[in-house]
Amino acid sequence: MLKLIRTLAILMLLCFASFPKATEAASLYEHQNTTVSATQTVEDVVVIGGDASIAGTVTNTVVIVGGDVRVRSSAHIKGAVVIIGGDLILEDGADVTNDVVNVSFDSATVNSLVLGSGLMIGYGAVKLAASLLMLILPVLIVLIGKRKADAFLDRYRHTPRGKLFAAGFFTGLMLAAVSVLLLLSIVGIPFILLVVLLALAALSIGLTIVSQTLGDQIRGTADKPEWMRAGAGAIMIVSAMNVPFVGGCLFLALLTYSLGIAMSWTVSKLRRR
């Protein structure tokens, strides 16, 4: 029995020795120079910080980061080839049946990445600052204004919203037309800044009214100070404004409503005079 087992083992070793060249591997993940010989078949090749020489078969993807890749004439790559920070050397006869993506880190690419990163960081910083400002402004207006703010807020909280939105819509169109005319001359730029400041002032008032109205609808805030109710409403508004697309629509609606309040207040003052 032992002799039979030993004989079978020797035969198996001889069989493997007679086919030493064909190699199967699931994937190759290396941090050094890597070679896939002509007799190898692998699923994926991922090399970081080294070069790759592929002469065999890759059934999926080849990814090279920080190195070059040479695809030999005997190579068969059935997936995509992605090179980041390196070069592709493709010999005649090589079979690459999918896309080749080569991202080089030259000066133009680096400058683009730096510029894009800076814009993203700057946009995030501006968005964060605007969110904090929208949280603080309603609370400050209610605290500082006291009785005058209360009378003003109560007056426009009970004004028909449709009327205010209509007035704000036409006011926005008028301000946009005036701004376009002012842009045609350099002298008009300071006036555009003044228009923007007035719109921001109107927006802060409209934000305070909406925040306090929403704060009154929250359970458990009936016995709270007005500034706390305004802060709770502002949190709801800012949270909704940070939702993509919904936030933009909400901001335009709030701006239109605020401009309507500003126009209504201006008309009432002119009538009194």
Task: Note the pLDDT tens digit of each residue in 33-48.
Answer: 888 988 888 988 888 8
When pLDDT is cut at 50, 70 and 90, the band that residue 17 belongs to is: very low
For β-strands 100-103 and 23-30, DSSP reports them as unpaired
Which residues, 6+ apart, have CB-to-CB distance to 101 below 8 Å?
A: 80, 81, 82, 83
How many CB atoms are located within 10 Å of the residue 118 CB? 10
84 token code pair:
């980041």
**Phi/psi-derived region of residue 220, left when phi > 0, alpha when psi is between -120 and 50, beta in every other case:** left
- Tell me: pLDDT of 6 over 60: no
Give the pLDDT confidence score for residue 148 in this predicted structure. Answer: 66
Listed range (63-77, 172-186, 195-209) with the worst mean pLDDT: 172-186
156 token code pair:
């426009």
Give the pLDDT confidence score for residue 149 in this predicted structure. Answer: 64
Give the pLDDT confidence score for residue 255 in this predicted structure. Answer: 92
**pLDDT above 90 covers what percent of the chain?**
15
Residue 242 carries which DSSP code? Answer: T
Give the pLDDT confidence score for residue 4 in this predicted structure. Answer: 39
Listed range (159-173, 180-194, 231-245) with the worst mean pLDDT: 180-194
Domain ranges of the chain: 22-105, 130-272
Give the pLDDT confidence score for residue 22 in this predicted structure. Answer: 40
- Tell me: pLDDT of 132 over 70: yes
Which of 101-115, 153-167, 225-239 ranks highest by mean pLDDT?
A: 225-239
Chain segment 175-185, per-residue pLDDT in tens:
888 888 877 77
- Tell me: pLDDT of 154 over 90: no
Listed range (38-47, 93-102, 255-264) with the worst mean pLDDT: 93-102
Higher pLDDT, residue 9 or 163: 163
- Tell me: pLDDT of 265 over 90: no
When pLDDT is cut at 50, 70 and 90, the band that residue 23 belongs to is: very low
Handedness of CA 219, 222, 226, 227 (dihedral sign): negative
Please state the rounded mean pLDDT for residues 141-169.
78
Taking the CA atoms of residue 108, residue 110, residue 114 and residue 115 in that order, the dihedral angle to the nearest 10 degrees is 10
Q: How far is CA 68 from CA 29, 34, 64, 127, 162, in A?
A: 15, 11, 7, 41, 65
Give the pLDDT confidence score for residue 253 in this predicted structure. Answer: 92
Q: Is the distance from CB of 233 to CB of 210 less than 8 angstroms? A: yes
Q: Chain-wide mean pLDDT for the chain? A: 81
Please state the rounded mean pLDDT for residues 113-120.
84
Give the pLDDT confidence score for residue 250 in this predicted structure. Answer: 92
When pLDDT is cut at 50, 70 and 90, the band that residue 213 belongs to is: confident
